[in-house]
Amino acid sequence: MGKRLTGVLLAALLTMPAVYGPRLMAEPKTSLREQVIATERAFAKTMADRDQPKFASFISREAIFFSGETPLRGKPQITGAWAKYFKAPAAPFSWEPDKVEVLDSGTLALSSGPVKDPSGRLIGTFTSIWRLENANTWRIVFDKGNDVCN
């Protein structure tokens, strides 16, 4: 009985990290990283395409964008404030991810990169936090832009 109990306890201890440890990713980290890169590029394309409804589809309902003195809280406030960027026929700026990292849990990701004016001049950088809300559906939950220091 002692050996059997020891075996059961040992098996329980060995399986505890799988049960109580960090959630393992369903997909390899590289695949999730590529999903976030593709999502960030598609999000940026909405600005180039002047497609405000599609832009809004990438924003989580509880997102926070840091713009100006007061953060924009929630999808309606963000899309309302960003409507001005969709009025002109040409996009006032563009962005592209150059760094993307995904948590080992596969549920949150950070993207950052340059923001450029229509002539291609660097005018800022962005940092965004993306959350996996459904299978293969990443939505932005935090966004912060920074001007370039001259």
Q: What is the pLDDT of residues 11-66, one digit of tens each?
A: 443 443 333 334 444 567 779 999 999 999 999 999 999 999 999 999 999 999 99
* Within a domain: 1: no
Partners of residue 117 on adjacent β-strands: none
Q: How many domains would you assign to the chain? A: 1
Tens of pLDDT along 89-122? 999 999 999 999 999 999 999 999 999 999 999 9
Other C-beta atoms lying within 10 Å of the C-beta of residue 120: 8
Measured at the CA of 20, the angle between CA 15 and CA 23, to 5 degrees, comes to: 105
* Within a domain: 72: yes
pTM for the model stands at 0.80
* Within a domain: 8: no
* Within a domain: 77: yes
**Residue 3: its pLDDT value, please?**
54
* Within a domain: 66: yes
The CATH number linked to 44 is 3.10.450.50
Tens of pLDDT along 61-87? 999 999 888 999 999 999 999 999 999
* Within a domain: 17: no
Q: Are strands 108-116 and 94-95 parallel, antiparallel or unpaired?
A: antiparallel
* Within a domain: 3: no
What helix, strand, coil percent values describe the chain, rounded to 5? 40, 35, 30
Domain membership of residue 105 as a residue range = 29-147
* Within a domain: 5: no
Q: Which ranges of the chain does DSSP label H, i.e. alpha helix?
A: 2-20, 29-48, 52-57, 75-82
